[in-house]
Structure formats: structure tokens, C-alpha cells
Amino acid sequence: MNIRIGVTLGDPSGVGAETVIKIFRDQRMFDMATFVLYGASKSMSYYKAKVEDAEQVNYTLVRSASEAHEGKLNLVECGKADMRITAGEASAEAGAVAVESLRRAAEDVKAGHLDLLVTCPINKNSMDEAGFGAVGHTEYLAQQFGGEPLMLMCSDIMRVGLATIHIPVAEVAAALSKELITKRIAQLERSLKEDFGVRKPRIAVLALNPHAGDGGLLGKEEQEIIAPAIREAYEGGTLAFGPFAADGFFAAGTFKKYDAVLAMYHDQGLAPFKTLTPYGVNVTTNLKVVRTSPDHGVGYDIAGKGVADESSMRNAIYMALDIYRSRLREAEYAANPLKHIVRERGGRDRDAKDIKELKVEN
């Protein structure tokens, strides 16, 4: 099966193109999928000159992913031909390239020319100056593909989802509701099953306030919103637990007992995640298209110096492929669950008599 992956190069003033170039120094990447880059060819040429052993990294220009060649690195040209590359400097011109890259990739996904999407980091301010009209990748993809996305940070040792995403901290408490948290728990459970193959996930839910509110002395959100949402989810069959005070939860390693954690706001989840798990991946779940990205930003401080680490971007590609295949397996399972139950219990296909006698464990 030929899987087609769209890769947006993000902000041409950042480290996105450099990390992609470093990844494709390994020609074995083409054994996994067909890759289509979206960005400026000038950006690729500029950063290629900064990367050691990148002579073999070449690309073929195509108008869309429909023209992509297997075994080659394809590039859909975005931005003006005379654009300037200003490594490490934010600009509206760079933002415009990032906007066009994402827009063109989304169009190819909608047209069925791409199976999944991996995005390099962007500068939200630069894209806003270029008329982007969305807060970030997550919100834009929700506009394009429908649904209310869940932001999920993933690594080998933990997964952290967010109840609220890109909103000011001063607005977090007002944005929380029992309905929102219940929905987020359900989204997280669904993603763990469909995207990661976890049959019966265990989900930890964090408190909002210090010491989980100290019985209401430090805030009542735990008593009035978060705990009731957890209880409702649990009574509905979801293994949801909490609310846990965030500091002790991560410091004591309690996160290791759960398949995922639901944090109440952006930095509550991402600060410990990035501290404890370098080279993690940002996954946008609850959308029809699989989308991942590295867990770092544009890296203006190191852009153009040839020192950017490509590990997180490589992991984002690997995880996108894993999730895509997991969703295919889950779809096949849902279409014919009895077939899979028989194979799981007996290790082989059984005849009709065996099937009638089969007992399914709940």
C-alpha cells in the first residue's frame, strides 16, 4: 500500500526545512511512503547548504500531490519566486509562505491526494500578519475538516491531552465546564483506542487549582466541574480517575500508571511533558485526517546554523504512519468484529460450529 504523506515546511525563517532535509539524508524513508513537501524551494536550497552530508537530498517540483513520484522527494512550490530567506527573523513574508503551504496541503487532503499530514512549526504572529485568520494549526484544520479537535502530546512514556487549547490563562476557568471535560475524556478514550490500539484505556484527569482545590479553599472547580465530569465518564464505562493535583502527579511519576492524562490548560500539560519527554510529538485527534507535528517551535535562535535536532520531526512522521495504520485496523475490526474475535481467541479461523460455541469476554 502506497501511503502519501504531506509535509508542510512551516515558517521559512525557522528550523522546519532544516529538520526535513536532515531526515531525508536517509534514503530508507522512501521505503515507508511517498512524501510531498509544501514550501519554498528557496528555503530548501538555503538550509540544504547549512546541513552536512545533504548533497543527496534532492526534490522534484510538482503542482500538487496528484503528480507525486514514488521514491522521490516531491515539492509543491509555495510563496513568491523572489522571496528572501531571513533565518531567525519573523516576517509577514515568511508567514505568507507558511499560510500558503498549509492551505495547499489541506486542499490536497480534501481532494484525496494525501493520506495524512505532518506540519513543521509556524509563527502565529507572522501568519496572522499574512491574514491567516486562525489561531494555529489545530484551529485551522478544524475549520477545514470539521469536528472539534483534541490536542494530544505523545511520547514513549506519556500522552497528555488538553481540555482547553490556545486561550489565555486568565480565561481558562471560565472556559471549563462539566460538559467540556466529559467530552474531552470521551475524545481521549476514542483516540487511545483508534489511534494507539489501547483496548481499555486508563485516563487520569488533572485538577485546575493548587492541591486540587484543597476541598474548596483554593477554588471550587474541582468540586463543581471536574469531579462530576470524571464521575459521569466513569459511570458510563470509561476508566477515568482524578482530579489529581498536577505538581505531585508528575513529580511522583504517577503518570506512568495511566495510558493518558487530561490537563486543564496548555502549559499545565506541556511544561511537564516537554521536561520529561524530549523529542515528543503533537497529535491532533478527533479529525478525519491524521495530523502530527514536532513538539518544538520555530527555533529562531538556532535557525540557519545547521544545529537543529530532527528527532522530534522524525518521530512525528513515524507516529503519523502508526496512527494511520491503527485507524485502518480499527476500521477493519469494526466492519467485521466477529472475525477478529475468533482469531484472537483461537489463533485461526474456525468453522461455523466453533463460532456458535465461542464465548466473548466482556
CATH number at residue 333: 3.40.718.10
Residues 164 and 269 in one domain: yes
Residues 271 and 288 in one domain: no
Query: What confidence score (pLDDT) does residue 362 get?
Result: 29
Query: What confidence score (pLDDT) does residue 1 get?
Result: 64
Query: What confidence score (pLDDT) does residue 338 get?
Result: 62
Query: What confidence score (pLDDT) does residue 314 get?
Result: 97
pTM: 0.88
Residues 172 and 138 in one domain: no
- Of 244, 298, 241, the C-alpha closest to 269 is 244
- Residue at a domain's end among 244, 259, 276: 276
Query: What confidence score (pLDDT) does residue 339 get?
Result: 59
What order do you get walking across the sheet with 60-62 strand by strand? Answer: 60-62, 73-77, 34-39, 4-8, 116-119, 290-294, 281-285, 150-154, 159-162, 260-263, 202-206, 239-244
Query: What confidence score (pLDDT) does residue 349 get?
Result: 40
Residues 11 and 133 in one domain: yes
- Residue at a domain's end among 260, 276, 292: 276
SS3 7: strand
Residues 57 and 190 in one domain: no
- Taking only the tens place, the pLDDT of each residue in 177-198 is 999 999 999 999 999 999 999 9
Residues 12 and 133 in one domain: yes
- Of 93, 99, 136, 120, the C-alpha closest to 35 is 120
Residues 137 and 175 in one domain: no
- Of 103, 132, 131, 92, the C-alpha closest to 12 is 92
CA atoms of 231 and 283, how far apart (whole Å) = 27
Count of domains forming the chain: 2
Q: Which three cell numbers stand for residue 212?
A: 486540587
- Residue at a domain's end among 257, 276, 295: 276
CA atoms of 351 and 101, how far apart (whole Å) = 53
Parent domain of 336: 1-149+281-362
Residues 6 and 116 in one domain: yes
- Residue that is written with C-alpha cell 502527579 in the block: 249
Query: What confidence score (pLDDT) does residue 201 get?
Result: 97
- Taking only the tens place, the pLDDT of each residue in 94-141 is 999 999 999 999 999 999 999 999 999 999 999 988 888 887 888 889
Query: What confidence score (pLDDT) does residue 346 get?
Result: 45
Residues 179 and 230 in one domain: yes
**Residue 128 in contact with residue 98, Cβ under 8 Å?**
no
Residues 79 and 12 in one domain: yes
Residue stretches of the chain with pLDDT short of 70: 1, 337-362
CA atoms of 156 and 170, how far apart (whole Å) = 32
Beta strands 159-162; 260-263: pairing state: parallel
CA atoms of 4 and 115, how far apart (whole Å) = 5
CA atoms of 12 and 98, how far apart (whole Å) = 7
